[in-house]
Amino acid sequence: MNAETAPHAVEIAGLSKWFKDFQVLKNIDLTVAHGERLVICGPSGSGKSTLIRCINGLELHQAGRVVVEGVELTDDIAQVEAVRRDVGMVFQQFNLFPHLSVLDNCTLAPMWVKKVPRAQAEKAAMEFLERVHIPEQASKFPGQLSGGQQQRVAIARALCMNPRIMLFDEPTSALDPEMIKEVLETMVELAETGMTMMVVTHEMGFARTVANRVAFMDHGEIVEIAPPEVFFNNPKSDRTKEFLAQIIH
């Protein structure tokens, strides 16, 4: 199936995953529409990271189906690599390549994976660095940047592959408060472009204003999933209420 005609950006059905005997994900069903912005929250260890890492094949699932833009993740490495080209990911720890300049961090994958000529890759990279408001840092190395700047480079680096879906795994959790804002603003701007986004975060302000739906995970299950108005004002499950009471003081 072709990505243009795929009915959903992400389609997850009956997804289960175990680490040894421990079941991290329990029979998860979830569909994400094109252009949808889904925020996932839940207590530590509930399986949020594992769930979004299953979407680009960083974790392999043992049961169920994961279909991304019409391509199912299987044992076929070509299929997995096709999905990875369509899915960008931003990590809690930034994971920039410290031995490469900011610009080289951004051009590496387009040049080696998509075989884009260097000049063209650099031009595109500069455009994305401008979009995340740090074009002047292009020639620096990651170690010379603040945490917030590094995370924005990481976002630009992912965008340079022109992904159709962006995954964020607690992108602001490793940042000082004053830097959280600049990264969230960048993500809001990205949301305004119509990008499909799945964001694991505890920034409830972001969830309220940007998300189309918010999902609450606990013990490897999606306990509740609803639009933010409903999710925050009128949660159905007691577990959700408990969790919200804890993080919104």
Total residues belonging to the chain: 249
By beta-carbon proximity to Mg ion, the closer residue of 49 and 196 is: 49
Which two tokens mark 157?
């680096």
The rounded distance, in Å, linking the Cα atoms of 56 and 71 is 11
Which one of 12, 15, 49, 51 is in contact with Mg ion (CB under 5 A)? 49
By beta-carbon proximity to Mg ion, the closer residue of 54 and 129 is: 54
Cβ–Cβ under 8 Å, residues 149 and 160: no
End-to-end CA distance of the chain: 46
Q: Is 107 in the site for ligand ATP (CB under 6 A)?
A: no
The rounded distance, in Å, linking the Cα atoms of 179 and 174 is 10
Residue 50 interacts, among another protein, Mg ion, ligand ATP, none and using kind-specific CB cut-offs from 5 to 8 Å, with ligand ATP
Which two tokens mark 145?
């940047």
Which two tokens mark 243?
């969790």
Residue 93 interacts, among ligand ATP, Mg ion, another protein, none and using kind-specific CB cut-offs from 5 to 8 Å, with another protein
Cβ–Cβ under 8 Å, residues 16 and 61: yes
Q: Is 132 in the site for another protein (CB under 8 A)?
A: no
The rounded distance, in Å, linking the Cα atoms of 242 and 43 is 11
Count of residues engaged in binding another protein, rule: CB under 8 A: 28
Q: Is 10 in the site for another protein (CB under 8 A)?
A: no
Count of residues engaged in binding Mg ion, rule: CB under 5 A: 1
By beta-carbon proximity to another protein, the closer residue of 99 and 181 is: 99
Binding site for another protein (CB under 8 A): 56-58, 81, 84-85, 87-89, 91, 93, 95-99, 108-109, 112-113, 141-144, 154, 157-158, 161
